[in-house]
């Protein structure tokens, strides 16, 4: 057992910190700190800087442009990004599609997509969920039928993050209806500008636009766009979802909350927050910090692959705990800010905040609302609990 950070780890932490300080545009960090989703235009400068440094894709194999970091280094990078208000950039291309192509893609697909993804030229969305296939993903009905040298795709996807700004969709479609549901699926890359692709925005409770409906109406793509062998999509989808199994703990984001809440309480004290309430909030903050510290170590345990049947269960556990902690953190911030969180605010609105609201108040409610999605995406909390039962106790 050696469960402490080494001197090399600490040196790496300083290196990451220095890189972020030198390269993250302050306006981007401010926007991220306020809790708003970014689009391609706002993150381009940051992605370019990351690409120059070779740090765009920590999870990829080195030969395809990965960083070769140890699990601990990967975690340190995530934590430092969280603390410094670094936005997530094109998670689906970099953390999901990229690793799938490295593992299962043909040389042609790798050649065509990996470098543009690293550069930020190609953004992806993930066409998995459908109106009738949410937690029960294998029941999806979008069909891909072979026609000469093409696949012809018909169906509907929903909750598709970033579809409105993506260049491609990685689409999970049924290519064989004669076998059991999991065995008849394939993963196909669909250009979003192909004829027959229609994207419709869905406004979510946080007032933002990040998910969409995507309609696929006789969409024709070349046969070579199918990743790997036909009907191996379920294996690839599982690989894709497991590849970032610690992502939904949002440990870096939680470190950010833990770090900034004390100052928010002090600002509150100067603005009418009674000491007795402040004391209670400090206590809630400490309790949150203790749980977040534990969550960080849970992430490290999963990344390091501590052996045993509990590993998959531990990954599910940290997804559930992560969502719980995010909601507690965001709820605590709203409690501290009190009436200041009521006004609606979006940066694009150009509407000035009410005079009584400090800059810190903008986006707090938005973020709180958003974290309810964390109890659903990547497998709902109930799906995670069922995985835990089936893995450990059934």
Partner 1 sequence: MDFTLNSEQTMLRDSARRYLAQAGGASWQGYAELGWLGIAAPEDAGGLGGGMADLAILAEELGRALAPEPFADGAVLATRLVDRLVVGHSREALLGEMIAGTRRLAAALYEPGRRYELAPQTTAVRDGGGYRLSGTKVLVMDGAAADDLLVTAALDGGVALFLVGREQAGVDGRAYRTVDRRDCADFRLDVTVEADRLLSGNALDAVEDALDEARLCLCADMLGGMDSAIEMTAEYLKTRTQFGQKLATFQALQHSVADLFIDADSVRSSLLRAIPAFGGERAARRKAVSACWVNTFETAKRVTGMAVHLHGAIGFTTEYRVGHYLRRAIVSERLFGDVEFHLARYMEG
Nearest CA to 169 out of 132, 142, 149, 205 is that of: 142
Distance CA 45, CA 49 (A): 6
Binding mask 167-196 for partner 1 (x = CB under 8 A): ------------------------------
357-390 core/surface letters (b: 16 or more CB in 10 A; e: else):
beebbbbbbbbbbbbebbbeebbbbebbeebbee
- Of 14-22, 59-67, 211-219, 293-301, the segment contacting partner 1 by CB under 8 A is 293-301
CA torsion 338-342-343-347 (nearest 10°) is: 80
Nearest CA to 219 out of 246, 243, 192, 238 is that of: 192
Distance CA 194, CA 151 (A): 12
- Considering only residues 146, 263, 271, 389, which one is a binding residue for partner 1 as defined by CB under 8 A? 389
Q: Does 386 bind partner 1 (CB under 8 A)?
A: yes
Minimum separation from the CB atom of position 130 to partner 1 (A): 24
Instruction: Give the HSE-up count for residue 149: Cα atoms under 13 Å, Cβ half-sphere.
Output: 2
Instruction: Give the HSE-up count for residue 293: Cα atoms under 13 Å, Cβ half-sphere.
Output: 7
- Considering only residues 37, 260, 282, 346, which one is a binding residue for partner 1 as defined by CB under 8 A? 282
Minimum separation from the CB atom of position 177 to partner 1 (A): 30
Instruction: Give the HSE-up count for residue 326: Cα atoms under 13 Å, Cβ half-sphere.
Output: 25
Binding mask 208-247 for partner 1 (x = CB under 8 A): ----------------------------------------
- Of 46-54, 142-150, 163-171, 383-391, the segment contacting partner 1 by CB under 8 A is 383-391
Minimum separation from the CB atom of position 293 to partner 1 (A): 6
- Considering only residues 307, 309, 350, 352, which one is a binding residue for partner 1 as defined by CB under 8 A? 307
Minimum separation from the CB atom of position 76 to partner 1 (A): 10
Q: Which is nearer to partner 1, 68 or 222 (CB)?
A: 68
> Tokens representing 321?
């705990």
Q: Does 348 bind partner 1 (CB under 8 A)?
A: no
Q: Does 41 bind partner 1 (CB under 8 A)?
A: no
- Considering only residues 108, 121, 266, 382, which one is a binding residue for partner 1 as defined by CB under 8 A? 382
- Considering only residues 20, 34, 140, 317, which one is a binding residue for partner 1 as defined by CB under 8 A? 317
Q: Does 276 bind partner 1 (CB under 8 A)?
A: no
Q: Does 4 bind partner 1 (CB under 8 A)?
A: yes
Do 321 and 298 contact (CB within 8 A), yes or no? yes
CA distances from 99 to 66, 104, 300 (A): 10, 8, 20
Instruction: Give the HSE-up count for residue 99: Cα atoms under 13 Å, Cβ half-sphere.
Output: 21
Q: Which is nearer to partner 1, 193 or 393 (CB)?
A: 393
| Sequence-ordered list of residues with C-beta below 8 angstroms from that of 297, at least 6 positions apart, any chain | 3
Q: Which residues of the chain form contacts with partner 1 (CB under 8 A)? A: 1-5, 9, 70-72, 282-283, 286-287, 289-291, 293-298, 300-301, 304, 306-307, 310, 313-314, 317-318, 320-321, 382, 384-386, 388-389, 392-394
């Amino acid at each position: 057992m050696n469960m402490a950070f080494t001197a090399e780890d600490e040196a790496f932490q300083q290196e990451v910190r220095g890189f972020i300080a030198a390269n993250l545009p302050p306006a981007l960090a401010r926007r991220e700190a306020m809790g708003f989703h970014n689009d391609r235009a706002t993150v381009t400068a940051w992605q370019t800087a990351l690409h120059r440094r070779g740090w765009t894709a920590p999870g990829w194999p080195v030969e395809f442009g990965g960083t070769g970091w140890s699990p601990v280094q990967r975690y340190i990078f995530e934590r430092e990004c969280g603390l410094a208000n670094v936005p997530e950039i094109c998670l689906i291309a970099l953390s999901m599609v990229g690793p799938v192509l490295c593992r299962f893609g043909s040389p042609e697909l790798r050649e065509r997509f990996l470098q543009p993804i690293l550069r930020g030229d190609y953004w992806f969305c993930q066409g998995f969920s459908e109106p009738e296939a949410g937690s029960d993903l294998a029941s999806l009905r979008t069909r891909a039928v072979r026609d000469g040298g093409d696949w012809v795709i018909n169906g509907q996807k929903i909750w598709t993050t970033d579809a409105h700004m993506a260049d491609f969709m990685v689409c999970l479609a049924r290519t064989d209806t004669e076998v059991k549901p999991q065995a008849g699926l394939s993963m196909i890359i669909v250009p979003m500008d192909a004829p027959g692709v229609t994207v419709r925005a869905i406004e979510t409770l946080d007032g933002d636009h990040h998910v969409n409906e995507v309609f696929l109406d006789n969409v024709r793509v070349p046969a070579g766009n199918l990743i790997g062998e036909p009907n191996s999509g379920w294996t690839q989808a599982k690989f894709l979802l497991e590849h970032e199994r610690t992502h939904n703990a949002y440990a870096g984001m939680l470190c950010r909350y833990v770090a900034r809440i004390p100052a928010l309480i002090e600002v509150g004290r100067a603005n009418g927050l009674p000491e007795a309430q402040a004391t209670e909030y400090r206590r809630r903050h400490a309790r949150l910090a203790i749980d977040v510290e534990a969550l960080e170590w849970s992430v490290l345990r999963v990344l390091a692959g501590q052996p045993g049947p509990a590993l998959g269960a531990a990954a599910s556990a940290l997804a559930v705990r992560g969502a719980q902690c995010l909601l507690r953190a965001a709820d605590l911030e709203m409690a501290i800010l009190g009436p200041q969180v009521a006004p609606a605010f979006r940066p694009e609105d150009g509407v000035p905040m009410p005079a009584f609201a400090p800059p810190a108040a903008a986006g707090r409610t938005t973020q709180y609302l958003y974290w309810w999605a964390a109890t659903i995406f990547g497998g709902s909390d109930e799906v995670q609990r069922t995985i835990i039962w089936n893995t450990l106790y059934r």
